[in-house]
Chains A and B, each alone.
Chain A
Amino acid sequence: MPVIIKTENLSKIYGGKIKALEDLNIEIEEGEVYGLLGPNGAGKSTTINLLTTRITPTSGTALVGGFDIKKHSMDVRKVIGVVPQDLTTDEDLTGYENLMMVARFYDVPKNLANERIATLLRLVDLEEAASRYVKQYSGGMRKRLELIVGLVHDPKILFLDEPTLGLDVQTRTQMWEYVRDIQKKLNVTIILTSHYLEEVDALANRISIIDHGKILITGTPEGLKESLKGDIVQLTFKNQEDAETMKKFPEATEARDFGPNIVRVTVRNSDEVLPVLIKYVSENNLTIMRMTVQKPSLDEVFLQYTGRDIRQEDAGDVRKMMMNMRRMRR
């Protein structure tokens, strides 16, 4: 498959010091659903904003749909569809009017625009609501409308920045269905960001984990899980001495510190290795305070590569989410 997006040392530095994105080098192929996974402030929106020409890079560049984002931003804009993190529809217009206005931005002939709008509205079950003012929409309806506004000109590439941010769990899974439908029926390449693991796991066929403006690893969800080389046993000991002894466990394919008195041990197959591990612990007189076993999952991949639990990020996210919800309701 031909490469449709290619970045070359793409970087964005805010105010001379905040490195929002550093030397991004990725290639995305036509037809892919590429997921950018990372906690808040990782640089996901910055990446999307750069690739969609909303902001300009501090250094480096990218080719999007064959066009340079710096030199030919207008051409880039014509071939991409964007669903930014924040809502963009005009509350004082109806759903249909919003769609038609954007179609006219691209000079889509009126008949064709009407045809496409009808198809898109059907795709996200908004036919009924199309003639209503957007201010009367629920949060979920508004997000669905945002999803199709970026598609009225039949773009080759669709960017979705946190498409389910602030939605409840049910609405989120519903959104995933819509995104899958869009990908299948409209044959677009999708670049999606999220800080929900389940989301990229469910939608993307290739994932990059991003943190502090840098990509830590890229691969398929399966490949990433496999890269963990087995199950992870996390043990908290009474003291660091015990922890050090644990790191010498012979069955471990990998063992490393994970905080004070905490060790993460990777083993091939926890079901078989656990009895051996227990024996090792009692022979060496180690005192375990806490122990968890994790089968490979994206959570574990994330933890492994960023050294942080992505779910901890959710606490700080609540305020942002509430704000977003409030905005959506208004």
Chain B
Amino acid sequence: MSGLAPLTARELKKWYRNPVFLLTGLIQPFFWLALFGSAIDISKFLGGGAATSAAAGVIFQGASNYITFILGGILVITSLFTAMFSGVNIIFDRRLGPMGRFLTSPIRRSSIVFSKILSAMVRILVQVVILIAAAFVIPNGLVLEHGFSLLAGFVLVVTVILVALIFSSIFSVIAVRLKDMNTIFGIVNLVNLPLLFMSYAMFPPDIMASWLADAAKYNPVSWAAESIRTVVINGTVISSQVANVEWWMGSLAILAAGLVLLTYFVAEKEIRD
């Protein structure tokens, strides 16, 4: 009687039946990809004489265009946003009534939160597939110069899932005891931009202000973006990157495990009327 399956089914139904939800969830990252992806024209750096050209090649880690460089970042950001909003979604169950039913049913209280986390993961994976497809389609889009190995696919999917777990957990824990919608969305708005811009999701560290680049080093969003970026650009985990990828993904995994545990205990104890 955990209730996890019926609650997750409910979340997914609400998602795929709501066209607005579905469209904004897909259109928004697509815009990002198209607009941000075109913001920097790497070829302008590459065409500017041998010295600049070599420098740009290093800065952008050998990506043949900016979309190829930024795709990892966009995937992580999409995952981050979807996860955040599904985490705080619990407030709507409180506001609109279903929570009253859940609290008097013989289900695990953590299932209420984990159903949101699980459904966020499904949604994010769908978004990822569509985004990658879109990245291929748009002009001057994604170039997989070195192919894409099974290992690369594994790194990409697992990283995205870890990001989903980390951020939906954090925001579930925040939302569990909060009853005021404004407070919650205030917090979301407060943290999403710093999380995004204090990371390597959009720009390579070498062109960032050094204090920002230093701060971004500790941001899980950077770890995830860099993991995906290296496999997208190189087609697999190249030998010079093995240690980095292990470190990034290991850190993400430990963080995710800790947060999921925390979420479990907080939800079991703290979901109350």
Contact = CB atoms under 8 A, between A and B. Distances in A.
B179 interface: no
A49 B273 contact: yes
Most buried by A among B5, B6, B100: B100
Contact of A105 (B18, B97, B105, B273): B105
Contact of A84 (B1, B9, B96, B100): B100
Contacts, number: 68
B14 interface: yes
A244 to B, nearest CB: 50
A101 B100 contact: no
B48 to A, nearest CB: 54
A149 B105 CA distance: 11
A86 B104 CA distance: 13
Interface in A138-155: 149
B98 to A, nearest CB: 5
A66 B70 CA distance: 62
Interface stretch (A36-44, A50-58, A179-187): A50-58
Contacts of A87: 97
Contact of B6 (A54, A78, A104): A104
A77 interface: yes
Interface string B89-113: 0000000111111011111000000
Contacts of A228: none
Interface residues of A, number: 28
Contact of A106 (B17, B105, B273): B105
Nearest to A87: B97
Interface in A78-94: 78, 80, 82, 84, 86-93
B100 A106 contact: no
Contacts of B217: none
Given A89-B97, A89-B98, A93-B13, A106 B106 contact: yes
Contacts of A100: 6
Interface residues of B, number: 24
A82 B98 contact: no
Nearest to B9: A101
Given A55-B273, A93-B14, A105 B96 contact: no
Contact of B96 (A82, A91, A97, A102): A91
Contacts of B97: 86-89
Contact of B104 (A84, A92, A97, A101): A84
Nearest to A77: B106
B239 to A, nearest CB: 50
B98 A90 contact: yes
B250 to A, nearest CB: 37
Nearest to B18: A92
A162 B103 CA distance: 18
A43 to B, nearest CB: 15
Given A54-B273, A104-B5, A105-B1, A90 B100 contact: no
A112 to B, nearest CB: 15
A61 to B, nearest CB: 17
B44 interface: no
B1 A106 contact: yes
A54 B104 contact: yes
A272 interface: no
A54 B14 CA distance: 26
A89 B14 CA distance: 13
A26 interface: no
A149 B101 contact: yes
A261 to B, nearest CB: 46
B272 interface: yes
Contacts of A90: 10, 14, 96, 98
A15 to B, nearest CB: 14
Given A97-B13, A101-B6, A52 B104 contact: yes
B17 A92 contact: yes
Contact of B10 (A55, A74, A101): A101
A95 B96 CA distance: 16
17 contacts: A54-B100, A54-B103, A55-B272, A77-B104, A77-B106, A78-B106, A84-B100, A87-B97, A88-B100, A90-B10, A90-B14, A92-B14, A92-B18, A97-B10, A100-B6, A104-B6, A105-B107
Interface of A: 49, 52-55, 74, 77-78, 80, 82, 84, 86-93, 97, 100-102, 104-107, 149
Enumerate the 3 nearest inter-chain pairs by beta-carbon distance, A residue then B residue, closest first.
Answer: A104-B6, A88-B101, A77-B106
